[in-house]
Amino acid sequence: MASLGPILGISKVIKGEMSREEYFERNGHRGPHEFELSIPDPSEDVNWLERQIKEFEESDTDADELLQKQHIQYEAAWKRFVERFPSKVKWLEKQMAKASEGARIREAARSEFVRVFRVVRSFALKAGELTGIGEDVFFLYINEVEDLLSDRDVKVKYIPARKENYEKYKALPPFPSVIRGRFNPLEWVKDPNRRMDFYDSTMPIAIASDSEMLKGFAGAAGKIEGIVRILATPEEGEKLQPGEILVATTTNVGWTPLFPRAAAIITDVGAPLSHAAIVARELGIPAVVGCGNATLRLKTGDKIIVDGGQGIVHILM
């Protein structure tokens, strides 16, 4: 699938099966900030691929080996099913084909849509260059960019204030993916029991802070005990040591190169068809997604058990 392109591509570059130029042509537009026009994608950073290769080699990561291991387990599970339920084989084949095709189409469509976003970024950068305001163009609304290009009155005096607000909000954690009612992020961030997946102003959520278990969705089967590593962004990926359990608010394709190093994946936001769940299943890494507040309840260094099949995280210490 398209989501696996970045890590499989890096593996091929290391093995000499793909050139660096071909890698960027296929995957250079994919990154952790795909829908934020003001942030460059990997293809704009000449050292990005070299850093990824170095991290892969230092951690002895082999994505192909993980995929092969998962394929062997799949074949064994399929053989057992055929032997036990021969009358249901055709039915299950159809269901699996339908689900697999849906996931592939969705990931491929997202990849191509990101290419469009990157074109829009190029347009914005050119507009900034032509008008002399450079990357400050990202602090204008689209109609203001049009006015600027047409020599009409543009309130560029508002750019400093917008920059200040941007830095203020940038310092906050990611907002919940679902927000219902009036939402004040500056008040929300003060709540130690806040959820990261949804916010409902009409239904305060009370969470027992001394609970020894987190519940989410079963993302990828498997049970493993390990040490937590909380990351706020994929740019902090160098902190993730091989065998640690990656805990994040959510993930996207920009996080994919980190997955082979992780023993398990936990996210605040997500569902069985989210990026974290799909990639973890492909690589055979246990995952619990949509826990709500794992990044608040856990801290780097905690010892936990991840039960991906049940969607449960047991906090040991």
Instruction: Catalogue all structural domains in the chain, each as residue range(s) with its CATH number.
Output: 1-171 (no CATH), 213-315 (3.50.30.10)
Return the pLDDT at 211. Answer: 54
The pLDDT assigned to 63 comes to 82
Say if residue 161's pLDDT is above 90.
yes
Q: pTM above 0.85? A: no
Express each pLDDT in 72-89 by its tens digit: 999 999 999 999 999 999
Sheet of 245-248, strands arranged across: 213-215, 312-315, 303-307, 223-230, 245-248, 264-267, 287-289, 217-220
pLDDT attached to residue 204: 52
Question: Which residues, in sequence order, are CB contacts of 164 under 8 Å at separation 6+?
Answer: none
Q: 314 catalytic, yes or no?
A: no
Q: Which of 29, 33, 71, 275 is catalytic?
A: 275
Is residue 108 scored above 60 in pLDDT? yes
pLDDT at 206 over 60: no
Which pLDDT score, from 0 to 100, does residue 203 have? 65
pLDDT digits (tens, 9 = 90+) for 11-53: 899 999 999 999 999 999 998 888 899 999 999 988 999 998 9
